[in-house]
Structure 1
Amino acid sequence: MVSVLTFIGKVSGLKAASLHAQYLEEYIALARHLDQITVVTDTVEYIPPDLPPNLTILKTPKIKIPKIYGALKILNYALPPLLKLNNIDAVYVRTFSPPELAALWLASRISGLPSVLTIGGTWLFGKPYERPSVKKALFRWILRRAAYAATRVTLYSRYMLPEVRYFIPKLDESRLRIIHNSVRVDRFRPSLPPPEQWRGRDARRIFWVGRINEGKGVEDLIYAFARVAGAVRDSELWIAGTGERGYLSYLRRKCVELGLMDRVFFPGPIPNEEVPRYMANAAVFPYPSRGGEGIPRAMLEAMACEAPVVATSVSGIPEAVIDGETGILVKRLDIEGLAEAIKTLLGDERFARSLGRRARRKIVEEFSHEVVIPQIAALLRETAS
């Protein structure tokens, strides 16, 4: 019998525009391979009616007192593993927020519970070699404590090791395991009907979705599109997701300066259940990350939908995007190279389609829930024993 405790920022359904719904999908799939899984959260928006009987949602109190909310959340997250509720055998941290990292560290040190920590990227902890703010310095300290305490640490790709070594210099690499990020290939698939916003108007749409911030390279994408727009008259750029209001305003001003406001669209957050329809009907899915990624989920989802992908060669991205085979790779910050790659895909539909078909095949074989979730379950069973 193996009972695992894990965490999620909030429990929500696929109508929410949030990754949390997809993490819950992972836990539901994981429950099929474990005896019991307890999911700790302080926010419940919607509980799917088809939760498996061996998956329990444990809601902790949410006390929003300014300045001490974070400390209270750490305490509330740490108590279930410290008390070994539901006879848990191991702690699994999937989304690596500071409260979850602190809970793993405390449970490992005080209760001696075995644990598995997934480091999906390093963006939360700032850029390597920059002087961190007090907040990010604290995040880095908590990350190191959790990583040193964890029984096993998983990464999406060995390409992530240089950045991970920088932030966690004393990590015992004998405890490392490589397990890819994964997606639901039954939900993210090609040949879906277009979204309502795209019906009745022909255009070749370049679609991007995610957290809109500097690290994602969204500004680089806008500058690249300025070079594409003149050459491909029926092209549009769609940038979906949320971001800080000030940064979004900055990007909109850039679009005005570049004369692109009638060609660049910011639809805001898109419900999870709608995202596959956008991806399956995109002419190109660009992912110009500046670094700090693992193997980005949105990129894998687009590949599963057979959307032609162009991405920067950073972190674990080359693990999935094989240049000229499952997508096109360009250098980080290479705006001209990004623009040329997008124009290539828009100008050669046969080549773009072949990349998309090979990309989906790779996702199904290496990055699908059917392949990856059993690997996570096996590691959790091994760790618990």
Structure 2
Amino acid sequence: MKYLKLKKNSRLLVVGSDPVWKKNDKYFTLSPFNTFFSAFLHYFDYVSMALPFLGDKIQIKNGIAMPEDIEIVELPGFKGVIDFIRKSIWILPKLIPVLHKEIKKSDAVMVMHDDFLGLITLLQARKQKKPHLLFLGGNQVEVVRNKYTGLKRWGAIYLAHLFEKIDQYWMDHGLTVLVTGREMIERLSAPERYIYPYFTSLISDEDIIYRKPRDISSNSTNILYAGFLTENKGVHILLEAFARFREKYHTPDIKLHLAGDGYFRPKLEEICQQLKITENVIFYGFIGDKEKLKQLFREADMFVLPSKSEGIPKVLLEAMAYGVPILTTNVGGIPDIIEDGVNGLLIPPGSPGGFVKGMAKILFDAKLRQKLIDGGYHFIKEHTKEKQAKEIIEYLHRVYG
């Protein structure tokens, strides 16, 4: 294997399955993870991202602009593993030559997903003896279990188990893997040299805001949730807790802001009608405008993430960066970044009563709100995307240097 040498005109290639599209000569994505890799421009002269390209005719209302200093390599378009399989006869003859060419001119290769595209990329990188690593972002078996239904769910679960076995094979034969959270590290067995715990921060130093909690006695109280509206996110539990809180503490002006979209939204809107909280719950849909999302965080008195399962949610890092106290569940990788009573409050998932108590603790105790804000501020200052990129580069040097 070649050593990692960051010479003049050095180039990093990142390969992932989250697609991009083009509008007005700019690339857009729905995946915030795609924007993380601009931090590596501190170490490489060029960063290229090879991603499925959906074209410039696609009608998607919202999207996140890709960093303009990243070169986009357009791969044949597909949406997810199932779509890749359906289109494989058409995709593979075009895909493999492009990957071969891009890997050949790169000094290091990072693979964002353990799927068919990731497998092909790792085989090519290994064949060309280029330093390479794989990001594993949480328990994919649980992700697909909650994402799909029916036969598609069982097919997706089978593929997730298959790729987990392939990941294990790669690690047994020396692949460097970056793993999100202790839960996944415990699921995998590999020499310590080849496995490294990480989480992807999308926060830069300039994003971090230090603030004091708002005086909620003279302002309407705002609770914020941001993320996908799927069943495993537990937003239906949050709605029930929110209704109970309003009734118990007589807070008719309190607002719950839901930023995000997903298949479960119609059900959540129905629950709001049943609980008679429609006027107090605001659905924003997906927000691709970073400044608009920042404004919601700035106006929030508390951020709540009621998930039943998680990796390490990037949205909790955003809440810390924008000075919002956090109430969340003790599942998956969340306890890796939230210490109960220090930079957030942790409760068991699925308990409306637990959320009511947690909401009351934070909203009615200004000193606790300030303590959680301070704890989040100190944590995120040490976990910006620039520092994460530096740690990954140092790790690559230890493995390949």
What's the TM-score bracket when you normalise by the shorter of the two chains?
0.7 to 0.9
Q: Distance in 2 between matches of 1:70 and 1:224?
A: 46
Q: Which residue of 2 aligns with 1:378?
A: 394
Contact 1:189–1:280, Cα closer than 8 Å, also in 2: no
Q: For 1:262, what is the secondary structure of its paired residue?
A: helix
Which AA in structure 1 matches 2:388? V
* Residue number among 219, 225, 243 corresponding to 2:262 in the alignment: 243
Contact 1:91–1:115, Cα closer than 8 Å, also in 2: yes
The answer to whether structure 1 residue 290 and structure 2 residue 337 are counterparts is no
Which AA in structure 2 matches 1:241? G
* Cα shift readout 1:96-154 (whole Å, capped 9, x = no counterpart): 26344333343256545442111122243437xx9951133123313432453262111
Which AA in structure 1 matches 2:325? P
Contact 2:138–2:181, Cα closer than 8 Å, also in 1: no
Q: 1:66 to 1:177 in 2, by over 3 A?
A: closer
Q: Which residue of 1 aligns with 2:72?
A: 57
Match runs of 1:312-327 below 5 Å: 312-327=329-344
Q: 1:333 to 1:76 in 2, by over 3 A?
A: farther
Q: If the length of structure 2 is used for normalisation, what is the TM-score?
A: 0.78
* Cα shift readout 1:340-368 (whole Å, capped 9, x = no counterpart): 10122111233212211221111112x21
Match runs of 1:1-385 below 5 Å: 1=7, 3-8=11-16, 9-11=18-20, 20=31, 22-43=32-53, 51-52=68-69, 55-62=70-77, 68-69=86-87, 72-73=90-91, 78-83=96-101, 85-94=103-112, 96=113, 98-107=115-124, 110-111=127-128, 113-122=130-139, 123-126=142-145, 133-149=154-170, 151-162=175-186, 165=187, 171-172=190-191, 174-182=193-201, 183-190=203-210, 202-230=219-247, 231=249, 232-244=251-263, 247-273=264-290, 274-291=292-309, 293-365=310-382, 367-383=383-399, 385=401
* Cα shift readout 1:32-88 (whole Å, capped 9, x = no counterpart): 212443210123779979744xx4321123379997236655665554443454522
> Any gaps of 5 or more consecutive residues in structure 1?
195-200
Which sits farther off after the overlay, 222-231 or 181-190? 181-190
Contact 1:98–1:143, Cα closer than 8 Å, also in 2: no
Please tell me the root mean square deviation across aligned C-alpha atoms, in Å: 3.4
Give the Å deviation of 1:301: 0.4
> Any gaps of 5 or more consecutive residues in structure 2?
1-6, 57-62
Contact 1:213–1:243, Cα closer than 8 Å, also in 2: yes
Contact 2:35–2:67, Cα closer than 8 Å, also in 1: no
Q: 1:12 to 1:382 in 2, by over 3 A?
A: farther
Q: Which residue of 2 aligns with 1:197?
A: none
Q: Distance in 2 between matches of 1:66 and 1:153?
A: 23
Give the Å deviation of 1:202: 4.9
Give the Å deviation of 1:159: 4.3
Q: Distance in 2 between matches of 1:205 and 1:380?
A: 43
Q: 1:134 to 1:11 in 2, by over 3 A?
A: closer
Contact 1:82–1:106, Cα closer than 8 Å, also in 2: no
Q: Which residue of 2 aligns with 1:198?
A: none
Q: 1:142 to 1:83 in 2, by over 3 A?
A: farther
Give the Å deviation of 1:319: 2.0
Q: For 1:315, what is the secondary structure of its paired residue?
A: coil
Which AA in structure 1 matches 2:12? V
Q: For 2:278, what is the secondary structure of its paired residue?
A: coil
What is the percentage of aligned positions where both structures have the same residue?
A: 23
Q: 1:121 to 1:227 in 2, by over 3 A?
A: same
Q: Distance in 2 between matches of 1:329 and 1:238?
A: 20
The number of residue pairs the alignment matches comes to 362
Which AA in structure 1 matches 2:71? T
* Cα shift readout 1:273-295 (whole Å, capped 9, x = no counterpart): 1212211221110111111x222
Contact 1:224–1:336, Cα closer than 8 Å, also in 2: yes
Q: 1:70 to 1:362 in 2, by over 3 A?
A: farther
Which AA in structure 2 matches 1:362? F
